[in-house]
DNA sequence: CCCGCAAATGTGGTATACTAATAACATTAC
DNA sequence: GTAATGTTATTAGTATACCACATTTGCGGG
């Protein structure tokens, strides 16, 4: 019998240019490389990224709908202001959805996913020692992704990923402070415990506290940054 | 005799063609004129709407991000399937956000907004007699919009509007059943009462029930429609 | 100093051309 | 007859040129 080569990884890697541009600009905005108020000029961006105006324009349309850029009619797009207010709004929504998420996860998580979660937590613990903030942040994202996925609710997963990403640069700031690491690890452990026992309300409480902690830190960060 | 065309709606504000197309397609999808699985072909749409490919493409990008169309690489866009599962997902998220919403509204609503809300409810009551489903649905939307706006949380407003619209055609189905009108009116009254007294938990309970009611009806609708 | 006009710039939209992928159909080979 | 193969039409994806129009800029004259 002829054995099929394993193409499934490399084969499906086509991404339209517009999506490459979209992701690039999105990251640049979320990481603060493109600052609020900065204009996004089509030709200039096209030249810089080595593509034509078409993919740029289409990427900007998506950023517009996501609220990351502000369209001014016949003037073009500029990076939307990320104010204290707008972040607070995002966190308020995220808190409610994370609460829903962890409750659903309690009901729907499988044994395999609990293992996955434990592994992700261990991996996070390991990366903490690396002192590489980007790596730590990514391990944290993977931990949360397992919880998100366990809900089996695609819409919820999509929205949480989006809200999570909107706070990227502030989460980074939060993780720069090594003093919070023990607390983080403890929270992760508690969340796993509660989820695996199916104790919804307790798990939700921890998650909410987890987010409320972040609120204060993020708000401090944004206030000092804006001066 | 030369009759002035009725421009007064569109004259005031300039709307880019892409947004006109976006709204047109969006409505067509939500109202079921474009059915799930139906392909959105650029040239064909361009001819039909009398514009070039560019605005069509940009509109499709936005529909893509909203989840109303599904992109198949190098094949194009088709109207997204609305499965029982995907609607259930949406409703699950919407329930949590509506709950958050009404609680925030209880805290933050102003006297003027309570008046507005009362007025919107009365207007809804009036339109019920008109038997014009579209008009009824719009009056219902306006009622909810007032509650949304009272939260002063832009992100929440944006998300709720989106989730709300994703269910448009099923809400229409719900509203075709005149037997639910008394119940709806009663719920509106109760919500206004609870909100104006600031009774968060009670208000949240009513809203959740309101949505849970819809779940069963919507699920029935989608099941019968898919046969 | 400022007023107004014109040039420069940039978006919004159209038209067109080309490539590459897909799907439907036709043709060939077995 | 059917499976494999080739062909063709269609369409998305991208690039590019061009025009209309709005906004900004800057210059020159009062």
pLDDT at B4 over 90: no
- Cα angle: B29, vertex B33, B37; to 5 degrees: 65
Chain A residues within an 8 Å CB radius of B86: 154-155
B86 to chain A, any CB pair closer than 8 A? The answer is yes
Which backbone phi and psi does B218 adopt, to 5 degrees? -65, -40
Query: Which candidate in A93, A103, A208, A215 is best for mutational testing of the B interface (most B CBs within 10 A)?
Result: A93
Nearest to B226 by CA among B32, B89, B72, B42: B32
For every one of its 227 residues, what pLDDT tens digit does chain A have, with 9 covering 90 and above?
A: 333 444 333 445 688 999 999 999 999 998 889 999 999 999 999 999 999 999 999 999 999 998 899 999 999 999 998 888 999 999 999 999 999 999 999 999 999 999 999 999 999 999 999 889 989 999 999 999 999 999 999 999 999 999 998 888 888 888 888 988 999 999 999 999 999 999 999 999 999 999 998 888 888 888 886 65
* pLDDT, tens digit (0-9, with 9 covering 90-100), for B72-106: 999 999 999 888 899 999 999 999 999 999 999 99
Q: Using the CB atom, is residue B73 less than 7 Å from strand D? A: yes
Query: What ranges do the domains of chain B cover?
Result: 17-79, 84-225
Nearest to A34 by CA among A65, A79, A64, A76: A79
**Cα–Cα distance between B80 and B71 in angstroms, integer?**
9
Q: Using the CB atom, is residue B25 less than 7 Å from strand D? A: no
3-state SS of B128-159 is HHHCCHHHHHHHHHHHHHHHHHHCCCHHHHHH
One of 3.40.250.10, 2.60.40.1180, 1.10.10.10, 3.40.50.300 is the CATH number of B17-79, namely 1.10.10.10
pLDDT at B7 over 50: no
Across the interface, whether the CB atoms of B64 and A66 are under 8 A apart is answered no
**Cα–Cα distance between A96 and B95 in angstroms, integer?**
11
Q: Answer yes or no: same fold for A17-79 and A84-225.
A: no
User: Is domain A84-225 given the CATH code 1.10.1740.10 in the classification?
Assistant: no
Q: What pLDDT sits at residue B227?
A: 55
Q: What pLDDT sits at residue B174?
A: 85
* pLDDT, tens digit (0-9, with 9 covering 90-100), for B120-173: 999 999 999 998 998 999 999 999 999 999 999 999 999 999 999 888 878 888
**Cα–Cα distance between B214 and B83 in angstroms, integer?**
16
Could you tell me which residues come within 8 angstroms of residue A221 by beta carbon, excluding any fewer than 6 positions away?
Answer: A170, A173, A174
Q: Using the CB atom, is residue B40 less than 7 Å from strand D? A: yes
Chain A residues within an 8 Å CB radius of B58: 57-58, 61
């Amino acid at each position: 019998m002829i054995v099929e080569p394993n193409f499934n990884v490399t084969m499906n890697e086509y991404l339209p240019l517009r999506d490459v541009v979209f992701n690039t600009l999105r990251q640049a905005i979320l990481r603060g490389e493109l600052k609020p108020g900065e204009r996004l000029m089509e030709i200039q961006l096209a030249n810089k990224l080595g593509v034509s105006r078409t993919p740029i324009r289409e990427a900007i349309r998506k950023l517009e709908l996501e609220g990351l850029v502000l369209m001014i009619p016949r003037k073009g797009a500029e990076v939307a202001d990320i104010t204290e207010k707008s972040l607070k709004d995002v966190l308020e929504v995220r808190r409610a959805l994370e609460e829903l998420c962890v409750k659903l996860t309690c009901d729907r998580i499988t044994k395999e996913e609990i293992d996955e979660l434990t592994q992700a937590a261990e991996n996070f613990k390991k990366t903490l020692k690396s002192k590489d903030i980007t790596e730590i942040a990514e391990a944290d994202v993977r931990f949360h992704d397992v919880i998100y996925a366990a809900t089996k609710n695609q819409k919820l997963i999509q929205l949480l990923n989006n809200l999570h990403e909107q706070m990227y640069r502030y989460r980074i700031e939060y993780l720069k402070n090594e003093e919070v690491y023990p607390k983080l690890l403890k929270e992760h452990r508690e969340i796993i415990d509660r989820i695996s026992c199916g104790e919804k309300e307790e798990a939700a409480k921890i998650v909410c506290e987890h987010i409320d902690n972040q609120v204060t830190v993020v708000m401090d960060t944004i206030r000092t940054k804006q001066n």
